[in-house]
Amino acid sequence: MSRTPPTLTVRPLVVPRSGDDPRRGDMDELVRLGNAVNRHDAGHPFFDQTVEEVLPGWQDETDHTHLGFIVEHDRSVAGIATLVLPNEPGASTLEFELMVEPALRGEDVWNTLLDVVEKAAREHQRSVIQTWTLHRRDAVGETLTPPTGYGAIPSDDPHALFLSAHGFAFEQVERNSTLDLHGDLTSVADALQEAIAFAGPDYRLLTWAAPTPPEYADGFAYTLSRMATDVPSGGMVWEEETWDAARVARRDGRLLAAGNTMSVAAVSHAPTGRIVAFNELMIGADHSGTTHQWGTLVVKEHRGHRLGTIVKCANLLRWHDLVPESPRVSTFNAEENRPMLDINEAIGFAPASYAGAWKKVLS
């Protein structure tokens, strides 16, 4: 039996064909509400997005399927659920987000949105549903620690209480850190030179801006495919992904269509010619906003050579010249990923907020 109160109605989110489409109202509401929720929960505006940045990801569904549902209260938007489903054959997971107007938060709207998510998961044969909650850096009081033993979030947080009561397991904490790009980057330059000397001649630094040059596309695809297997994920489930040059080109196309600028620093292994480490920095059309670090990875068999330091520091110095207007870079790392956090802390990153990772296995 549905738990939807009679004053709440649910309808699918309409995805416009372009930013000029007169039906873009739902996408406007999605971005407005998402920004408001993130600011409220994280305590800062570093995750703000625009419709132009969000829309291309909804329009190209080759690699992921996007679904959205709007809950209305008296014809006003009370909450939105967004769902992302990997299109890999046999995929079992679904990632979702519940966005509710801070002033309207309560069991009714959250229950309605979660009902929609679980129904969609079953319709698409997904048995594992996963989400993340944002938390302020300066939160006080009792805390909840995940099974990894690293990091914590407030135990009385409304999101945590709701998800726990509805069968979700708290699996991991991620730290959101920021670096002042207008500050002194001497430590970044020094760390880069030390790491290059330590790594030795078998490792070669590469840099490029999206779109990915053809000569690097296959190697970069291989390294991107390792994100699902080589990044600490606690008890979360990540589907292994099939990547090739065509998928890299599709990804680049979505990013550029959204008005983004992206820089990649990578390391190739000279004896094999393989790309074995990379770091990505990305910003939207407004270069005075926050820069986002996307993927950073050193494949397992090449760890211990300070390649993470090389790609992070080289890209930060390159970015300082490419986009001098941006005041900060924001990144997420699992709290148990001590090697990456050590690099961040050494070059000046500081905690800005935290994210809790939650998983539910459907019966």
Tell me: do 86 and 212 sit in the same domain.
no
Question: Quick one: 166 and 213 in the same domain?
Answer: no
| Six token digits for residue 112 | 């309605």
Overall domain count for the chain: 2
What angle (nearest 5°) sits at the alpha carbon of residue 94, between those of residues 220 and 30? 90
Same domain, yes or no: 107 and 208 = no
Strands 93-100 and 291-298: unpaired
Which segments of the chain have a pLDDT < 50? 1-2, 4
Domain interval for residue 327: 178-351
- The answer to whether position 2 is within a domain reads no
**Domain CATH for 143:** 3.40.630.30
Q: What's the pLDDT score for residue 73?
A: 87
| pLDDT value of position 2 | 46
d(CA 195, CA 227): 23
Q: What is the pLDDT of residues 141-154, one digit of tens each?
A: 899 999 999 999 99
Q: What is the pLDDT of residue 3?
A: 52
The dihedral of CA 306, 309, 315, 317: what is its sign? negative
Angle at 245 between CA 268 and CA 307, to 5 degrees: 20
Q: Which two tokens stand for residue 66?
A: 């996007």
Query: How far apart, in whole angstroms, are the C-alpha atoms of residue 145 and residue 92?
Result: 26
CB half-sphere exposure, 212, CA atoms < 13 A: 26
105 C-beta neighbours (distance < 10 Å), count:
18
* pLDDT tens digits, 158-178: 999 999 999 999 999 999 999
Q: Alpha-carbon distance 167 to 165, whole Å?
A: 6
Say yes or no: 44 and 158 in one domain: yes
Which whole-number Å values give the CA distances from 135 to 97, 250, 354, in the listed order? 15, 33, 5
CA dihedral 9, 54, 231, 337 (to 10 degrees): -90
197 and 58 within one domain: no
Q: Does one domain contain both 117 and 245?
A: no
Q: Give buried/exposed letters for 13-28 (b at 16+ CB in 10 A, else e).
A: bebbeeeeeeebebbe
Distance (Å, whole) CA 220 – CA 295: 12
* Structural domain ending residue among the three candidates 135, 152, 176: 176
119 and 27 within one domain: yes
**Domain edge (last residue) among 159, 176, 193:** 176
DSSP character string of 103-161: GG-SHHHHHHHHHHHHHHHHHTT--EEEEEEEEETT--S-EE--TT----EETT-HHHH
182 lies in the same domain as 168? no
Q: Which residues of 330-359 are buried (b: 16+ CB within 10 A; e: fewer)?
A: bbbbbbbbeebbebbeebbbeebbbbbbbb
Query: Of 154, 176, 198, which residue sits at a domain end?
Result: 176
50, with CB counted inside 10 A (0-12, 13-18, 19+), is middle
Look at residue 357 and tell me if it is in a domain.
no
CA-nearest of 357, 350, 310 to 331 is 350
pTM over 0.75: yes
Pairing of strands 291-298, 143-144: unpaired
